[in-house]
Amino acid sequence: MSAVFVLNGPNLNLLGTRETAIYGTATLADIEAALRAQGERLQLLIDFRQSNHEGDLVDWVQEAGGKGAGIIINPGAYTHTSIALHDALKAVRPPKIEVHLSNIHARESFRRTSHVSAAVDGVIVGLGAEGYGLALDAMRRLIDKVRR
Ligand code: CA2
């Protein structure tokens, strides 16, 4: 069975330690554990990764394009800057969902633009760590739709 790739961008390794008023108290390890449990219920394998490097994220999107069932991505600040991630996501076939913990539309103006949103099937913002779980539920349905 192929896995849903859950890709996390720069600084998300710091979750739960600082900026908790914006990003919540859950650590990335907490989010990973919750997704793995949910994945078992949904019969989805989870391949959970984080990198502070743009090229790693591009490589992983390409890898998921070759062997993944779907992509859930929180690109962190690369959301607002990376045409490379946009191009990589556009180029791959599996269903793709962008997730942000915070409501990027209610913060600084530089966070309002996402280069990623136009390359994915759906976007979940502002619902904290729960957004990842909502994305996985939606991913189950998107994968089933693609297979039919
Ligand atoms: O809201 C989100 O999920 C973001 O993708 C988080 C990024 C931010 O650059 C995006 O605009 C929105 C930041 C990642 C987390 O950064 C932290 C920094 C310090 C302490 C904890 C987390």
**Taking 80 as the threshold, does the pLDDT of residue 147 lie above it?**
no
Any ligand 1 atom below 6 A from CB of 19? yes
Q: Whose CA is nearest to atom 17 of ligand 1?
A: 11
Tens of pLDDT, residue by residue over 89-108, are 999 999 999 999 999 999 99
| Half-sphere CA count of 8, side-chain side, radius 13 A | 18
Q: Whose CA is nearest to atom 7 of ligand 1?
A: 76
Pick the atom of ligand 1 nearest to 74's CA.
Answer: 5
For ligand 1, pick from 11, 97, 105, 110 the residue to mutate: most ligand atoms within 8 Å of CB. Answer: 11
Tens of pLDDT, residue by residue over 51-86, are 999 999 999 999 999 999 999 999 999 999 999 999
pLDDT of residue 148: 59
Question: What band does 1 get if pLDDT is binned at 50, 70 and 90?
Answer: confident
Sheet strands side by side (includes 70-74): 45-50, 3-8, 70-74, 96-100, 122-125
End-to-end CA separation in angstroms for the chain: 17
Q: What is the CATH number of the domain that holds 27?
A: 3.40.50.9100
**Taking 80 as the threshold, does the pLDDT of residue 118 lie above it?**
yes
pLDDT of residue 146: 77
Q: Is the pTM of this model over 0.95?
A: yes
Q: Output the CA angle 128-132-138, nearest 5 degrees.
A: 130
Rounded to whole angstroms, the Cα distance separating 27 from 45 reads 20
Ligand 1 centre to CA of 145 (Å) is 31
**Taking 90 as the threshold, does the pLDDT of residue 6 lie above it?**
yes
Tens of pLDDT, residue by residue over 17-39, are 999 999 999 999 999 999 999 99
Range of 49's domain? 2-147
Q: Whose CA is nearest to atom 9 of ligand 1?
A: 77
The residue annotated as part of the active site, out of 78, 100, 115, 132, is 100
Provide the number of structural domains found in the chain.
1
**How far are the Cα atoms of 80, 138, 146 from residue 95, in angstroms, in the given order?**
21, 10, 8
